[in-house]
Amino acid sequence: MSIGQTLAAARREAGLSIDDVSAKTRLRATVVRAIENDDFSLCGGDFYARGHLRTLASIVGADPVALLAEYDANIANPDDVPVASQVFETETAGRSLTRRTERHAPNWGAAAAVMVLVAIIAFAGVQLLKGGNDHGSRLASTGSIEPSTPVSPSPDVTTVTPSDTPSTSTPATTPPSSAVAEAGVHIVLKVTNAKCWVLATGSNGATLWQGTMNPGDSHTFDDSQRISLKLGNAPATDLTVNGVDIGAPPSSTSVASVSFGPGDPTLAQG
């Protein structure tokens, strides 16, 4: 039997409908149905297709090793195999993903620094203009110059009258904060159908959270540079990284170690 036929037969034997599998795995029913028809075009590439196969096999009771071997032999793009084997499988793979992500991610820190510098220059210019206007106002408030006072004309001196003085000055602007808000790492971790032990650490090595999560539980983690996760039951989890839903991290066993930096995590797929 094909991969899709094997999964469909195992699902029926387990007494599950496609909607049941969709609810347990958080995969859309259309994606589950397409995989059972040996159509992997909705998976988004070999990397995610392998992850979906592991997740579906764990739910319906099929052998994921045999399914992945058949997928790699008959369906997978050979150019994608090294990339998938480098991501989510080991600690070394997690560090590789972070390096690739940081290389492709925009340099939000530099952009924020430039925007702050522009705002400071604008503020200084407004203050200088305001100071000149105040000086002009003081000259205008003294009225006309007495005839007995000798005044030497100079090209550098301009007589200021009340009508020449601007009534208001433009207020200083504050630097925008959108670039700063988009920097850093933001992860939402959800547990789907089984318990999962979780260890989350930040860029400084400090533990953000550690414990066992039950089905339906979710945790949010934030760090300015990097977040690393160790998952005791990776197929039972669903990850949203920097706003991108990447689903359950694939792993050859139930345990997975992953690490993320700022930016779009899918850029690590090359």
Sign for the CA dihedral angle at 100, 104, 110, 111 comes to negative
Tell me the fold of 3-83: 434 Repressor (Amino-terminal Domain) (1.10.260)
Cβ atoms within 10 Å, residue 241: 24
Q: What is the pLDDT of residues 77-95, one digit of tens each?
A: 876 544 434 444 433 444 4
Q: Which amino acid is at 108?
A: W
Q: What is the pLDDT of residues 110-122, one digit of tens each?
A: 778 888 888 899 8
d(CA 194, CA 231) in angstroms, rounded, equals 12
Architecture of domain 183-269: Sandwich (2.60)
Percentage of the chain modeled with pLDDT above 70: 68
* pTM for the predicted model, two decimal places: 0.35
The reported pLDDT for the residue numbered 134 is: 59
